[in-house]
């Protein structure tokens, strides 16, 4: 599989790319149609705010779980269709890296008899537990081990679908000791019960589900398959999520200011915007120099208050010296005309309506 | 765990991946393990660096912030907590929406050890974290003259609980009481800050509390007011602040609230209702743990902020040793140069040869007026240091007081949003 856009060296990629939510991602939302074991299908694809893709395949009778970098959790049971190869379809977000764990013998009442297999993916170049979907992808048949007990050696699935990017990270919050066994399937207190099923094995109160992502950054902090944002609206009785709601405290409360002329002070702590990040770095001297305007004029030239936004400014060479603000004038005289031209050329590339 | 060969396989893949970064064939580099950049410290420098690494480097880099506190309280504007114009919650920032917006991993812990050979950190929570590049943005540490209780003698030079402690002490003052503060020897965090604080407190006691008999005493380790001298000298005179330059604090007694100091070769003591000792400063402990200090600070190459004593480790903000001022605005500024330099290095692109940074600060001198100070810094190829390209200052006014919030609003958003 070719991972196209990932090369640091070729870097044929984007100029600075700040696109709003509506432009990002895209693609279909595919829901599982094969899951008859509804009791364990915890997906809620209908209210996902981000686009999703389906990952499918066939397995022996299996619980398929996905653990994603943002702390979210997805799971589905394969469907017993009378054959050896039970189909499954798991709906996953398109813009977050996830990893899989597959459990056979999962109908046993004793969790110690589960056969738990972490999945690695190999695209011919990279082997890693993490992948990201660019479209619906089928993994084909995965011949998981059916004997043994407990956590197995990772099972490597060869993938050849370019719509699945295998991604390798040198640090993995979901697997802090880097042994390819996710934290939830470690047994920290060595009592024979995996952290995930171990009631008394909560060694970090800030990480209720023990996946390695602290509650305030965990979009599903009890790993029940329902995003915390959806739970907090509908339920007052859920234990973990409601105790640890991910609400950002509004840190920039508007206050009545002394100076009526300068009323709209301070940042709105705009937490609604989503941005699309580039896939590679491209050096840009104008952007580097122009980023130094952001302390006063806002990130990428978009001010959060009544001070001037400079994104899209098309005549910086003249405007910068015409400003009658002495602090601006002092800054302007610290730059050479060549530098101002570089900054001006970069500002022209920015959208005025970036907010 | 019993996963031996898969682990070594993974390590092997990582080795192949990293070595391919210096290879020439682009198709090989696509198999690289995504470089992991760890930023220690989530203040103005650290949070800006992580944000810009992801904004410019996107999915080609994996970025983790290690920061002890889940909530950051800005020292910028925190003198306005003392006079009741702001609360610490007004100046508080969390990392939830910020980290999800840019895809930054957050770890709230402290770094106990830095293994430069294996490029690995040991955290207080027991975990180890491997890095490909390490950015240290840890702020400052204090050099106290002796052990004393900072709950009784607050410095309030790191904002939060300390700020509220000092405010409570000031609010408990009665007419005729004395407020004494000490100013550390330069370099220290936020050059105008202590002078600003003396003005704000003097104004608060006199004009808000209506105390005409309170005294404000300033013991300055420096020979004179080191920034905005005209503004602060004039304002001190207006408020009747007792300003004593060239004083060296030698001992602090938290029971009697007495400070011992020398002035002109003479030893003196002074007891005060409220004693606000701002100690001399040095780089934060991790700079020494990592062994990247020279004396009290960390020397760096201003083109990249990479340590001159350890490759792959970058120091930004108050702990670094350039002559640039130590403050939040310029910490944000340095962070962008550093982020760009790291991304250039990972991409095999030469460092930008003439980076610019800037500093700016509005300083309240009362509950209605503020002054300002600004500077642009350029790289001097001859000395290989950052030097001032232009500096300017403006005196107190009510108009500047309003602009102070426009400045801080965009600075806060550029850093934490």
CATH number of the domain residue B106 falls in? 3.50.50.60
DSSP output for A89-134 = EEEEESSS-EEEEEEESTT-SSGGG-EEEEEEEE-SS-EESEEEES
Q: How far is A108 from chain B (nearest CA, A)?
A: 23
Residues B125 and B45 in one domain: yes
CB–CB contact B390 A17 (8 Å)? no
Which pLDDT does position A351 carry in this prediction? 86
To the nearest whole number, what is the mean pLDDT of chain A?
77
A11 has a pLDDT exceeding 50: no
What's the confidence (pLDDT) of residue A91? 95
pLDDT reported for residue A227? 86
Interface contacts (A, B; CB < 8 Å): 319
Query: At A353, is the pLDDT very low, low, confident or very high (cuts 50, 70, 90)?
Result: low
The domain containing residue B103 runs over which residues? 4-141+283-351
CA distance B357 to chain A (A): 7
Task: Return all residues near A310 (Cβ < 8 A) that are at least 6 apart.
Answer: A293, A297, A301, A303, A316, A347
Find, among A119, A178, A10, the residue nearest to B32 by Cα: A10
Is B38 within 8 Å of A171 when comparing Cβ atoms? Answer: yes
Q: Give B-chain residues touching A285 at CB under 8 angstroms.
A: 352
Residue B408: helix, strand or coil by DSSP? helix
Please provide the average confidence, as pLDDT, over all residues in chain B. Answer: 93
Closest C-alpha among A204, A173, A166 to residue B64? A173
pLDDT of residue A203: 64
- Over residues A59-99, the pLDDT tens digits come to 887 899 999 999 999 999 999 888 889 999 999 998 899 99
Q: pLDDT digit string (tens) for B338-395?
A: 999 999 999 999 999 999 999 999 999 999 999 999 999 999 999 999 999 999 999 9
Query: B268 and B331 share a domain?
Result: no
Q: Which of residues A42 and A228 earns the better pLDDT score?
A: A228
Would you call A294 and B10 a contact, using CB atoms and an 8 Å cutoff?
no
> Which is nearest to A218 in space by CA: A73, A80, A79?
A73
Q: State whether B41 and B117 are in the same domain.
A: yes
Q: Quick count: other Cβ atoms within 10 Å of Cβ A315?
A: 11
Whether B265 is in a domain gets the answer yes
pLDDT of A147 = 85
The whole-angstrom separation of Cα B277 and Cα B265 is 20
Instruction: Determine the residue of chain B that is closest to A336 in CA distance.
Output: B389
pLDDT at A260 over 70: no
Residue partners of A315: CB distance under 8 A and separation at least 6: A344
> Is B416 domain-assigned?
no
pLDDT tier at A111, thresholds 50, 70, 90: confident
Contact check, Cβ <8 Å, A292/B356: yes
Number of domains in chain B: 2
Q: What value, to the nearest 5°, has the Cα angle with vertex A305 and ends A302 and A308?
A: 55
B137 and B10 within one domain: yes
pLDDT at A201: 66
Q: Between A202 and A119, whose confidence is greater?
A: A119
Chain B CB contacts of A9 below 8 Å: 21, 24, 26, 29, 347-348
Query: Is residue B45 included in any domain, yes or no?
Result: yes
Q: Which two tokens stand for residue A343?
A: 């900054």
Residue B261 forms part of a structural domain: yes
Residue A9 or residue A66, greater confidence: A66
Decide if B205 contacts B198 (C-beta within 8 A).
no
What residues in A contact B57, CB-CB < 8 Å? 278, 280-281
Q: A109 to chain B nearest CA, in Å? A: 24
A296 contacts on B by Cβ (under 8 Å): 360, 406-407, 410-411
Co-location of B134 and B231 in the same domain: no
pLDDT at B7: 40
Angle, CA A48 vertex, CA A43 and CA A51 arms, to 5°: 110
Inspect the interface and report whether the beta carbons of B102 and A125 lie closer than 8 Å: no
Question: Which of A45, A49, A90 has the alpha carbon at shortest distance from A66?
Answer: A90
Record: contact B410-A246, CB cut-off 8 A: no
Residues B11 and B123 in one domain: yes
Asked whether residue A258 carries a pLDDT value surpassing 60, the answer given is: no
Mean pLDDT for A22-35 is: 35
Looking at the domain assignment, is residue B411 inside a domain?
no
CA A111, chain centre distance (Å): 30
- Which two three-digit tokens encode residue A242? 């409601």
Residue B271 lies inside a defined structural domain of this protein: yes
Q: Delimit the CATH 1.10.760.10 region(s) of chain A.
A: 284-355
> What CATH fold (topology level) applies to the domain A284-355?
Cytochrome Bc1 Complex; Chain D, domain 2 (1.10.760)
- Interface contact B406-A265, CB threshold 8 A: yes
User: B295: left (phi > 0), else alpha (psi -120 to 50), else beta?
Assistant: left
In a shared domain, residues B137 and B11: yes
Q: Is residue B387 part of a domain?
A: no
* Contact yes or no for B416 and A204 at CB 8 A: no
Q: Which residues of chain A lie closer than 8 angstroms to B115, CB-CB? A: none
User: How many angstroms separate the CA atoms of B361 and B190, rounded?
Assistant: 9
Residue A37 pLDDT: 39
Asked whether residue A239 carries a pLDDT value surpassing 80, the answer given is: no
The residues, ordered by sequence, that sit 6+ positions from B264 with a Cβ below 8 Å of its Cβ are: B246
The order of strands in the sheet holding B133-136 is B105-107, B62-66, B36-40, B133-136, B313-315, B306-307, B300-301
- Cα–Cα distance between A293 and A319 in angstroms, integer? 14
Question: Is B407 domain-assigned?
Answer: no
Q: What is the pLDDT of residues A154-184, one digit of tens each?
A: 999 999 888 999 999 988 999 988 899 999 9
Selection from B174, B252, B257 nearest residue B209 by Cα: B174
Mean pLDDT in residue range A121-128: 93
pLDDT, one tens digit for every residue, chain B (417 residues): 333 344 443 444 344 344 434 433 333 334 478 999 999 999 999 999 999 999 999 999 999 999 999 999 999 999 999 999 999 999 999 999 999 999 999 999 999 999 999 999 999 988 999 999 999 999 999 999 999 999 999 999 999 999 999 999 999 999 999 999 999 999 999 999 999 999 999 999 999 999 999 999 999 999 999 999 999 999 999 999 999 999 999 999 999 999 999 998 999 999 999 999 999 999 999 999 999 999 999 999 999 999 999 999 999 999 999 999 999 999 999 999 999 999 999 999 999 999 999 999 999 999 999 999 999 999 999 999 999 999 999 999 999 999 999 999 999 999 999
């Amino acid at each position: 599989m070719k991972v196209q856009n990932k090369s640091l060296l070729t870097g044929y990629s984007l100029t600075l790319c700040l696109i709003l939510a509506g432009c990002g991602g895209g693609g279909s939302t595919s829901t599982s149609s094969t899951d008859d074991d509804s009791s364990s299908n915890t997906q809620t694809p209908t209210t996902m705010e981000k686009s999703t893709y389906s990952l499918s395949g066939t397995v022996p009778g299996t619980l398929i779980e996905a653990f994603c970098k943002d702390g979210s959790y997805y799971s589905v049971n394969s469907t017993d269709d009378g054959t050896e190869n039970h189909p499954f379809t798991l709906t996953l977000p398109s813009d977050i890296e996830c990893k899989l764990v597959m459990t056979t013998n999962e109908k046993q009442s004793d969790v110690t008899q589960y056969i738990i297999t972490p999945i690695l993916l190999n695209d011919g170049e990279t082997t890693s537990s993490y992948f990201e979907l660019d479209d619906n992808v089928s993994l084909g048949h995965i011949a998981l081990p059916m004997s043994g007990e407990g956590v197995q050696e990772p099972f490597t699935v060869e993938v050849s679908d370019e719509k699945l990017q295998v991604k390798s990270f040198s640090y993995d919050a979901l697997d802090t000791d880097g042994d390819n066994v996710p934290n939830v399937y470690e047994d920290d207190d060595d009592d024979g019960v995996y952290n995930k099923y171990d009631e008394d094995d909560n060694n970090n109160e800030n990480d209720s589900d023990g996946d390695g992502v602290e509650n305030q950054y965990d979009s599903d902090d009890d790993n029940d398959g329902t995003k915390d944002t959806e739970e907090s609206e509908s339920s007052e009785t859920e234990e973990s999520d409601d105790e640890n709601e991910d609400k950002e405290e509004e840190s920039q409360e508007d206050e009545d200011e002394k100076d009526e002329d300068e009323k709209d002070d301070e940042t709105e702590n705009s937490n609604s915007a989503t941005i699309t990040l580039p896939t590679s770095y491209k050096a840009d001297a104008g952007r580097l120099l122009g980023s130094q305007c952001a302390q006063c004029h806002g990130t990428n030239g978009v001010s959060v208050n009544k001070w001037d936004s400079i994104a899209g400014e098309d005549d910086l060479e003249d405007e910068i010296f015409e400003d009658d603000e002495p602090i601006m004038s002092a800054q302007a005289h610290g730059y050479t005309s060549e530098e101002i031209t570089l900054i001006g050329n970069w500002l022209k590339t920015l959208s005025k309506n970036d907010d | 765990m019993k996963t031996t060969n898969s682990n070594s396989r993974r390590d092997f893949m990582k080795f192949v991946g990293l070595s391919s970064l210096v290879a020439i064939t682009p198709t090989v580099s696509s198999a690289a393990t995504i470089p992991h950049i760890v930023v220690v410290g989530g203040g103005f420098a650290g949070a800006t660096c992580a944000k810009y690494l992801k904004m410019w480097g996107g999915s080609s880099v994996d970025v983790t912030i290690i920061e002890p506190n889940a909530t950051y309280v800005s020292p910028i504007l925190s003198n306005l907590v003392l006079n009741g114009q702001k609360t610490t919650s007004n100046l508080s920032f969390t990392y939830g929406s910020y980290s999800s917006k840019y895809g930054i991993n957050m770890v709230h812990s402290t770094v106990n050890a830095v293994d430069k050979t294996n490029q690995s950190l040991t955290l207080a929570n027991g975990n180890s974290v491997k890095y490909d590049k390490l950015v240290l943005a840890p702020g400052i540490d204090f050099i106290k003259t002796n052990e004393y209780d900072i709950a009784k003698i607050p410095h309030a030079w790191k904002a939060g609980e300390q700020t509220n402690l000092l405010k409570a002490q000031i609010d408990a003052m009665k007419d005729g009481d004395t407020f004494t503060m000490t100013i550390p020897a330069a370099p220290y965090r936020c050059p105008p800050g202590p002078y600003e604080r003396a003005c704000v407190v003097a104004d608060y006691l006199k004009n808000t509390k209506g105390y005409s008999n309170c005294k404000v005493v300033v013991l300055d380790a420096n020979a004179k007011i080191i920034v905005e001298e005209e503004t602060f000298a004039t304002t001190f005179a207006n408020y009747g602040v007792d300003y004593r330059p060239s004083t060296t604090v030698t001992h602090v007694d938290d029971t009697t609230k007495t400070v011992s100091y020398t002035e002109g070769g003479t030893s003196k003591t002074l007891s005060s209702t409220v004693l606000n000792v701002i100690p001399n400063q040095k780089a934060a402990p991790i700079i020494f743990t990592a062994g990247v200090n020279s004396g009290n600070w960390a020397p760096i190459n201003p083109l990249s902020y990479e340590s001159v004593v350890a490759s792959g480790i970058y120091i930004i903000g108050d702990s670094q040793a350039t002559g640039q001022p130590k403050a939040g605005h310029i910490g944000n500024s340095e962070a962008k140069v550093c982020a760009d330099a790291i991304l250039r290095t990972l991409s095999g692109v030469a460092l930008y040869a003439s980076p610019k940074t800037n500093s700016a600060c509005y300083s309240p001198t009362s509950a209605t007026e503020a002054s300002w100070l600004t500077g642009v810094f350029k790289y001097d190829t001859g000395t290989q240091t950052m030097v001032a390209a232009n500096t300017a200052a403006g005196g107190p006014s009510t108009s500047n007081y309003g602009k102070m919030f426009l400045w801080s609003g965009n600075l806060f958003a550029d850093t934490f949003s």
